[in-house]
């Protein structure tokens, strides 16, 4: 379930008491002992002042209470603050906390609206599966210590991680604890089986059986209290909030096995089922371990080993060369041009730095920096190019996190997620109802079979496939696509691509290959001074045409510029030694759109001196790619260039395609919005330079990375230009991937029908059910990994 859907569910109904939160007739006192999240919803919807309820000590989730004020005193230490903060600049800070208490929709709603309690916390984002939350706050108004204290007061004690750069170390403690639990349950399972064999085989008398059974009880108690504790805690918390989660039938099955076994042993009417119970917990934890290892490996490969195709200009001697960010080392000198991302912490050496940290903080105010000031990764330079010295190795996990936060993209529910949510919603209730019906049916015939069948139904039913199929299958798909230069922001992006039915393309740098642009100049002879001024201006822009001009004037020296301005989608201007130079489209230079005129026009001190012509070569295999897409999608072209390429573009995209030239960035955005209003799910494919707004607005934004630094956290897909010829196969692969998910659902349904059939009829022992349940989860995971790989191999032959 997406965050948006969880919030909607919370807003509709109180997760603790079940009351309709929108009913203004409900008095405050009826909600005062509900969860903190429920109170927030009620106060919001009835327009009460939330800040008056700052003290949440009366609520069940507030376990820390007054101890918090002393517990977090060390968070005032500057060295500790420096280690924990992900960002700290001009009073704006960012921190990520592990919050193990997150377990329901009310938790999510409260944490993502915590700014209503303290306005200094202006943004928060929760990762529900990882139980993590990122907070952006004004550190001059609320300190890190005060933030931690506030979270503790409302029931979410932060689990602080100082070694934030090593996710493997961060997770090692959890894996170690899981290993201990598996070891304990395995030890108990083996020994209980050993002590039970003599009785099963009739080798001991009644007195010996009595003592051996008591040993078995002693062995099973730590298994329940320690190894199985997570399941009991999860089920208890769900019940305290008026919910029945997926762990509840598991816990009910455990409790039934234990109590029945205790009864049989103490009253000497049977040998009990403690071996089955220990085995159940053991195999359940084995399945959990397998899931965790597989998930962590997929996540680690994505966060640390799959570098995005971002290139940066690096100085070697007196020349600049383009390098991939994974090749950057401490001490390298980099050039950061206008609107380019700073991929690594660095020190300013030259130029006027005006940094936009909105991708990190959400705040768009520019920050001016002086020579030797530290520049933090994640900012964008606005204005002239700057030279910086790398002070720290590129942290790929930081870029991945920055992208995953998706501050600028709205969470939209996909059709697949909606299906899963509907099935999952009623699964647990259905299983409990079936188990009770089975118990009642067999009770009047054979109470022994009634007990066995009831327990087996609870244990064998496996809702896990519904939760595991998508993250593991799609997670593997993301990993496989990264191998061929296609990077996806999250598994949700896959679903949105599957739902898309309209694709809009940019032209320059997308349909055409910016690396194969032929440049000529028409006009006055370019003297050395004018050529130097033109190149000096173009160096500061990352637009494909600007860089093509720089390559055309390869042997020309550059000069220092001042007052550089880039008018997005129009042109550039600056001053060089008292001379004003303007370069851009015909409308930018002459003030009117002349559709017959194409290229980049040059004006020096108000005098037009000529223009550059560009022969655009289309990308390799573009006809084949568009031919694949035309059969499945409505296509369009949005270009800021003149319509000289109208005929060629029409032949490529087809006669039914909507083709718009001379489109400004704002007009591209408006076009996307209009198509969405018509009911289309729009995918926008561009280079991320003049179409950032359209990429952000679209349901899926795809950026083509062509040897330039155009990484944008607001996009959904980064496509290495070398892999553009695989774009059609990429779409086909993701559409087939939906069939893989449906296949996983089919396997889960077949498993549950067969398992429940045997359980209901009393032909399935609890120990066999205990083995089958985690085995089914492992089967679903393996199926998803193998099927997604085979489908990948088939799609990209």
Rounded Cα–Cα distance for residues 78 and 83 (Å): 9
Token pair belonging to 213:
């059974």
d(C-alpha 774, C-alpha 186), whole Å: 15
Residue (of 186, 324, 725) closest to 486 by Cα position:
725
What local confidence, expressed as pLDDT, does residue 211 receive?
75
Q: Cβ(499)–Cβ(681) under 8 Å?
A: yes
pLDDT tens-digit map of 315-364: 888 778 877 777 888 899 998 888 788 888 889 998 888 888 777 766 66
Q: How far, in Å, CA of 391 to CA of 417, rounded?
A: 43
Given this model, what pLDDT does residue 44 score? 45
Please give the helix or strand (H or E) that residue 286 lies within, else none.
Answer: helix 274-300
Q: List, in order, residues 6 or more apart from 383 with CB less than 8 Å away.
A: 338, 352, 354, 540, 564, 565
User: Exposed/middle/buried for 18, CB within 10 Å: 0-12, 13-18, 19+?
Assistant: exposed
**Per-residue pLDDT for 201 more than 70?**
no
> Confidence class of residue 15 from pLDDT cuts 50, 70 and 90?
very low
Q: What residues contact 210, with CB distance under 8 A and at least 6 apart? A: 268
Contacting residues for 509 by C-beta, under 8 A, at least 6 apart: 544, 686, 687, 689, 704, 706
* Per-residue tokens: 35: 């969860």
Q: Taking residues 437-441, what's their average pLDDT?
A: 88
Q: 653 and 637 in contact (C-beta within 8 Å)? A: yes
3-state secondary structure of 126: strand
Place of tokens 């496996």: 462
Of the candidates 327, 314, 337, the residue with the CA atom closest to the CA atom of residue 566: 337
Least Cα distance to 519 among 538, 492, 491 occurs for 538
Q: Which 8-state DSSP code applies to residue 606?
A: T
Residue 104 region, left (φ>0) first, then alpha (ψ -120 to 50), else beta? beta
Averaged over 365-392, what is the pLDDT?
85
Is the pLDDT score of 693 beyond 80? no
pLDDT at 47 over 60: no
Per-residue pLDDT of 736-794, as tens digits, reads: 998 998 888 888 778 878 888 888 887 776 567 656 766 777 788 788 889 999 999 99
Q: What is the mean pLDDT of residues 1-26?
A: 40
**pLDDT of 458 strictly over 50:** yes
Q: What is the pLDDT of residue 715?
A: 79
Contact predicate 654/630, CB 8 Å: yes
User: Using N-to-C axis directions, what is the helix angle for 415-443 and 727-760, rounded to 10°?
Assistant: 10
pLDDT at 614 over 80: yes
Exposure of 262 in the CB half-sphere (CA atoms within 13 A): 11
3-state SS, residue 381? strand
Checking if the pLDDT of 220 tops 80, the result is yes
Angstrom distance (rounded) from CA 475 to CA 487: 12
The mean pLDDT value for 369-382 works out to: 85
Closest CA to 115 of 124, 127, 104: 124
The residues with which 314 forms a beta bridge, in sequence order, are 321, 334
Q: Which of 79-93, 213-227, 257-271, 284-298 has the lowest mean pLDDT?
A: 284-298
Q: Which residue has the higher pLDDT, 458 or 221?
A: 221
Torsion of CA 660, 664, 667, 672, to 10 degrees: 70
Q: With left for phi above 0 and alpha for psi between -120 and 50, is residue 446 left, alpha or beta?
A: beta
Confidence band, pLDDT 50/70/90 cuts, at residue 12: very low
Q: Where are the beta strands (DSSP E) in 147-265?
A: none
pLDDT recorded at residue 395? 64
Task: Check: CB of residue 30 under 8 Å from CB of residue 8.
Answer: no
Q: Find all residues with CB under 8 Å of 367, minimum gap 6, and list them.
A: 89, 90, 354, 355, 356, 357, 379
Q: Given this model, what pLDDT does residue 32 score?
A: 34
The closest of 291, 418, 223, 295 to 773, measured between CA atoms, is 291
pLDDT averaged over every residue in the chain:
76
Checking if the pLDDT of 127 tops 90, the result is: no
The residues with which 717 forms a beta bridge, in sequence order, are 488, 702
Can you name the residues that pair with 386 across neighbouring β-strands? 336
Q: Can you tell me the mean pLDDT for 234-241? A: 71
What strands, in cross-sheet order, belong to the sheet with 386-390?
319-324, 311-316, 333-336, 386-390, 346-350, 374-375
Average pLDDT over residues 263-285: 79
Distance CA 2, CA 410 (A): 11
Amino acid 202: pLDDT:
59
**Six token digits for residue 734:** 């993701």
- Whether 489 contacts 411, CB under 8 Å: no
Residues 224, 258 contacting (CB under 8 angstroms) = yes
In contact, 491 and 474? CB cutoff 8 Å: yes
What's the pLDDT score for residue 243?
Answer: 63
Whether pLDDT at 462 is above 50: yes
Compute the distance between CA of residue 82 and CA of residue 93 in angstroms, rounded to an integer.
11
Considering the entire predicted model, what is its pTM? 0.64
Q: How long, in residues, is the chain? A: 797
């Amino acid at each position: 379930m997406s965050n948006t859907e969880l919030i909607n569910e919370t807003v509709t109904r109180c997760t603790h008491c079940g009351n309709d939160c929108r009913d203004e007739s409900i008095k405050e006192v009826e909600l005062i002992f509900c969860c903190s999240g429920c109170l927030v919803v009620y106060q919001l919807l009835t327009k009460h002042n939330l800040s008056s309820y700052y003290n949440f000590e009366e609520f069940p989730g507030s376990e820390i209470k007054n101890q918090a004020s002393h517990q977090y005193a060390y968070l005032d230490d500057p060295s500790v603050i420096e280690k924990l903060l992900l960002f700290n600049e001009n009073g704006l800070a960012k921190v990520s906390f592990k919050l193990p208490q997150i377990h329901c929709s009310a938790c999510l709603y409260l944490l993502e609206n915590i700014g209503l309690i303290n306005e200094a916390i202006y943004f928060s984002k929760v990762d529900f599966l990882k139980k993590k939350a990122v907070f952006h706050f004004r550190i001059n108004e609320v300190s890190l210590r005060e933030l931690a204290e506030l979270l503790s007061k409302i029931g979410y004690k932060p689990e602080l991680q100082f070694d934030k750069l090593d996710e493997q170390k961060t997770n090692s403690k959890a894996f170690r604890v899981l290993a201990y639990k598996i070891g304990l349950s395995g030890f108990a399972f083996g020994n209980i089986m050993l002590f039970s064999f003599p009785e099963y085989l009739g080798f001991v008398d009644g007195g010996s059986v009595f003592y051996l059974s008591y040993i078995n009880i002693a062995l099973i108690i730590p298994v329940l209290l320690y190894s199985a504790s997570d399941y009991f805690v999860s089920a208890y918390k769900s019940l305290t909030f008026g919910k029945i989660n997926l762990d509840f039938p598991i816990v009910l099955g455990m409790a039934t096995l234990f109590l029945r076994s205790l009864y049989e042993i103490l009253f000497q009417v049977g040998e009990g089922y403690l071996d089955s119970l220990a085995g159940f917990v053991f195999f359940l934890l084995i399945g959990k371990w397998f899931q965790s290892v597989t998930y962590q490996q997929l996540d680690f490969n994505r966060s640390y080993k799959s570098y995005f195709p971002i290139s940066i200009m690096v100085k070697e001697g007196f020349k600049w060369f383009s390098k991939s960010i994974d090749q950057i080392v401490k001490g390298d000198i980099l050039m950061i041009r206008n609107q380019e991302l700073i991929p690594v912490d660095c020190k300013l050496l030259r130029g006027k730095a005006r940094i936009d940290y909105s991708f990190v903080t959400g705040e768009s105010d520019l920050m001016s920096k002086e020579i030797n000031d530290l520049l933090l990764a994640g900012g964008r330079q606005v204005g002239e190019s700057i030279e910086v010295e790398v002070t720290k190795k590129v942290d790929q996990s930081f870029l991945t996190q920055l992208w995953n936060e998706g501050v600028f993209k709205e969470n939209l529910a996909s059709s697949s997620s909606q299906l899963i949510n509907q099935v999952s919603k009623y699964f647990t209730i259905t299983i409990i109802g079936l188990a009770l019906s089975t118990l009642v049916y067999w009770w009047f015939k054979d109470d022994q079979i009634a007990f066995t069948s009831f327990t087996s139904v609870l244990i064998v039913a496996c809702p896990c496939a519904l939760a595991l199929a998508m993250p593991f299958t799609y997670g593997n798909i993301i990993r496989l696509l990264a191998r061929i230069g296609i990077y996806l922001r999250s598994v949700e992006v896959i679903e949105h691509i599957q739902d898309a039915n309209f694709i809009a393309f940019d032209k320059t740098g997308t349909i055409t290959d910016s690396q194969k642009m032929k440049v000529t100049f028409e006009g006055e002879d370019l003297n050395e001074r004018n050529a130097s001024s033109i190149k000096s201006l173009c160096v500061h822009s990352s637009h494909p045409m600007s860089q093509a001009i720089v390559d055309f004037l390869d042997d020309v020296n550059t000069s220092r510029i001042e007052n550089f301005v880039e008018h997005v989608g129009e042109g550039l201007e600056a001053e060089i030694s008292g001379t004003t130079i303007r370069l851009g489209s015909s409308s930018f230079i002459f003030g009117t759109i002349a559709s017959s005129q194409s290229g980049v026009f040059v004006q020096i001190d108000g005098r037009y001196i000529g223009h550059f012509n560009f022969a655009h070569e289309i990308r390799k295999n573009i006809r084949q790619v568009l031919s694949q897409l035309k059969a499945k999608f409505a296509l369009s072209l949005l270009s800021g260039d003149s319509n000289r390429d109208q005929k060629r573009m029409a032949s490529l995209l087809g006669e039914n395609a909507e083709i718009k030239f001379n489109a400004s960035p704002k007009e591209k955005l408006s076009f996307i919005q209009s198509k969405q209003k018509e009911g289309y799910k729009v995918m926008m494919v561009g280079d991320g330079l003049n179409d950032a707004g359209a990429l952000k607005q679209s349901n899926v934004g795809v950026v083509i990375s062509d040897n330039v630094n155009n990484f944008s956290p607001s996009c959904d897909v980064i496509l290495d230009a070398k892999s553009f010829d695989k774009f059609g196969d990429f779409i086909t692969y993701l559409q087939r991937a939906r069939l893989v998910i449906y296949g996983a659902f089919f396997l889960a349904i077949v498993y549950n029908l067969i398992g429940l059939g045997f359980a209901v009829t009393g032909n399935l022992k609890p120990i066999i059910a205990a083995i089958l349940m985690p085995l089914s989860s492992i089967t679903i995971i393996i199926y998803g990994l193998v099927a997604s790989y085979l489908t990948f191999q088939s799609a990209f032959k």
